[in-house]
Structure 1
């Protein structure tokens, strides 16, 4: 049952990632990968929420939303590829900015998700 829940979550997360990435990137005339950055930060926030709520959430819900949805929504491989692409295109400053901003914003978003759950659950 768990693999099916993961697959169902991923079936929503992967197309959502693609659509959000294209919508955001299409609005920016920049080499910086804004779409990937956005889905990774949002996914980190959602996973922070889910991880903090894990004490109150069933394992099947975590499989569906945590592993499936967030796992497919976020994309470390695309982040890596886009960073290398920026380096190869001699956009070193953007590559460094992508790495630093993605790590800081992702960790901050996850921490904010945890903090929100703690605030709401006391």
Structure 2
């Protein structure tokens, strides 16, 4: 049953990432990979929230492992970051990679704290 929950959540997460990534990239039309950046940062925030909540194992498998696991994308993040290096845009690479990591950690903590705070009320 666990793999079914992860599979369904993953399918929904990857579709959401695909659609949202295309919408963001089309709307903002920039060489900077803002779509992946926004998706990964919001995914870190949402994982913080989900991790802090007292939910069932099944709900965690669906949302965290499935949906958010497929919604966020480490491989695309790495590809886009190192693509900057290949194009000799080292400053862009460092800004993208470091900001993604730093803001990802901050947003996870904020999401976790928000989830814990909401559980008090």
TM-score of Structure 1 vs Structure 2, range by shorter chain = over 0.9
Alpha-carbon separation, structure 2, partners of 1:19 and 1:39 = 11
- Note the aligned Cα RMSD (angstroms): 0.9
Alpha-carbon separation, structure 2, partners of 1:20 and 1:110 = 20
Q: Calculate the TM-score normalised by the size of structure 1.
A: 0.94
Shift >4 Å, 4+ stretches = none
Alpha-carbon separation, structure 1, partners of 2:116 and 2:34 = 29
Alpha-carbon separation, structure 2, partners of 1:104 and 1:49 = 18
Which string of whole-angstrom CA distances, capped at 9 and with x for unpartnered residues, describes residues 47-82 of structure 1? Answer: 1011111xx200000000000000000000000000
In structure 1, runs of 5+ residues without a counterpart are: none
Contact 1:13 1:73 in 2 (8 A): yes
Listed as ranges, the matches of 1:106-117 within 5 Å are 106-117=104-115
Alpha-carbon separation, structure 2, partners of 1:86 and 1:20 = 22
TM-superposed deviation, 1:28: 2.5
TM-superposed deviation, 1:30: 2.3
Listed as ranges, the matches of 1:1-122 within 5 Å are 1-53=1-53, 56-122=54-120
TM-superposed deviation, 1:119: 1.4
Which stretch has the larger CA shift, 21-30 or 80-89? Answer: 21-30
Aligned length: 120
Q: Calculate the TM-score normalised by the size of structure 2.
A: 0.95
Alpha-carbon separation, structure 2, partners of 1:60 and 1:17 = 22
